[in-house]
């Protein structure tokens, strides 16, 4: 399992791949899961098995294992 570190005050974008049953969840449910994990300003788009989420990590820097559904994650930098 891949470990990723989120840094305080940074915005992240993740590509999420869901199985067929998970893909029935609406974007609000996925957003609420990210909020429960500590993210703020959460936006989720897409449908079915392919979603994209963007959110801010307001807490102290933290490292954790990524769920298998997160297939790509990156920090969003201002251009």
DSSP letters, 19-32, are -TTGGGS-HHHHHH
Specify the pLDDT at position 35: 97
> Which pLDDT tens digit goes with each residue over 5-54?
999 999 999 999 999 999 999 999 999 999 999 999 999 999 999 999 99
pLDDT bracket for residue 78 (50, 70, 90): confident
Whether the model pTM is above 0.85: yes
Is residue 4 helix, strand or coil? strand
Distance of CA 42 to the CA centre of its chain: 8
Specify the pLDDT at position 2: 86
Domain positions in the chain are 3-76
């Amino acid at each position: 399992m891949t470990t990723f570190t989120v840094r305080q005050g940074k915005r992240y974008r993740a590509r999420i791949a869901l199985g067929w049953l998970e893909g029935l969840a609406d974007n609000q449910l996925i957003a609420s899961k990210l909020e429960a994990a500590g993210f703020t300003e959460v936006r989720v788009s897409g449908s079915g098995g392919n979603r994209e989420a963007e959110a801010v990590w307001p807490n102290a820097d933290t490292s954790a294992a990524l769920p298998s559904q997160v297939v790509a994650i990156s920090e969003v930098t201002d251009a």
